[in-house]
Amino acid sequence: MALTRDVWLVFQRQMLLMLRTPIWLGIALIQPIVFLTLFAPMLKLALTSIGSANTYAAAYLVYVPGLLVAIACYGGFFSGFALLAELRAGIIERVRVTPVKRQALLFGRALREVVNVLIQAVVITVLAIPFGLRVPLGELLLAYGIFTMLALATVAWSYGVALTIKNEGALGPVYNTVSQPIMLLAGVLLPLAVAPLWLKRVADWNPFYWGTAAMRSLFAGHPGQPVVWEGALIVGLLMASAIAWATWKFSRALR
């Protein structure tokens, strides 16, 4: 209970800081909205090659889940910059003298990042409705659950990398080098059904591919498909391992 209370206190403080500069949320939404309006319509004809319906509604059912995965990953991958900046400024060092548990200092910040990308996900979903997107509420909430786990996993991984490298100049290239092949192999822009067989076999080892496939199945209204629970399980394991690693790195950094 004490840890939960401390996480909530840190989370409240971090949310207050975010709300004081709401322009960052608007900036973060610009690129996803551009992709939603300018790229997704091109999938209408491309999907016919894999036997999908040649409609805008079908295109958005495929593309929106992939776009949400991209938001969760890119939004989470670059969150390490903020943590490193606070460490260098001595903000976290000053908070250490309070009774707040060290894990709460990490989890409270991570939850702020998750809420940030979750808001973006809701906005993108709502904006896709006029284009024909229709998703049952129960399946949508399950998809958001997988989305939240993906976001938390990427935030935790980003924190761990930032605490390992401790150099802002090197973080950007590292994040880009890792995130781009992961996203391409997850099929966030185009479903991997159009990819060659060898690329599909490589993607099978990518946890983000399973998260994308699970969310697309949920958006299509097929919660009973095996890929849904398989994707949720794989993403859950990814999240747990990333949190454990980030917590260990954070505890060592504050010794």
Per-residue pLDDT in tens (0 to 9) along the chain, 255 residues: 677 777 777 777 777 877 777 676 677 677 777 777 777 777 766 665 555 556 777 778 888 898 899 888 888 887 878 877 777 777 766 666 666 677 777 788 888 888 888 988 888 888 888 888 888 889 999 999 999 999 999 999 988 888 888 777 777 788 888 888 888 888 887 777 777 788 888 888 999 999 999 999 999 888 889 999 999 999 999 999 999 988 888 877 666
How much is the pLDDT for 218? 93
182, 205 in Cβ contact below 8 A? no
Q: Distance between CA 167 and CA 161 in Å, rounded?
A: 10
The DSSP output letter for 94 is: H
How much is the pLDDT for 162? 85
179, 161 in Cβ contact below 8 A? no
Please state the pTM of the whole predicted model: 0.86
40, 188 in Cβ contact below 8 A? no
How much is the pLDDT for 95? 65
Sequence-distant (≥ 6) Cβ neighbours of residue 200 within 8 angstroms: 192
How much is the pLDDT for 34? 78
82, 155 in Cβ contact below 8 A? no
Please write down the HEC assignment for all residues of 184-215: HHHCCCCCHHHCCHHHHHHHCCCHHHHHHHHH
Tokens of 255: 């010794």
Torsion angle defined by CA atoms of residues 186, 190, 192 and 198, in that order, rounded to the nearest 10 degrees: -90
Q: Is the dihedral of CA 221, 122, 62, 235 positive or negative?
A: negative
How much is the pLDDT for 172? 77
How much is the pLDDT for 1? 65
The DSSP output letter for 246 is: H
Q: Distance between CA 164 and CA 179 in Å, rounded?
A: 17
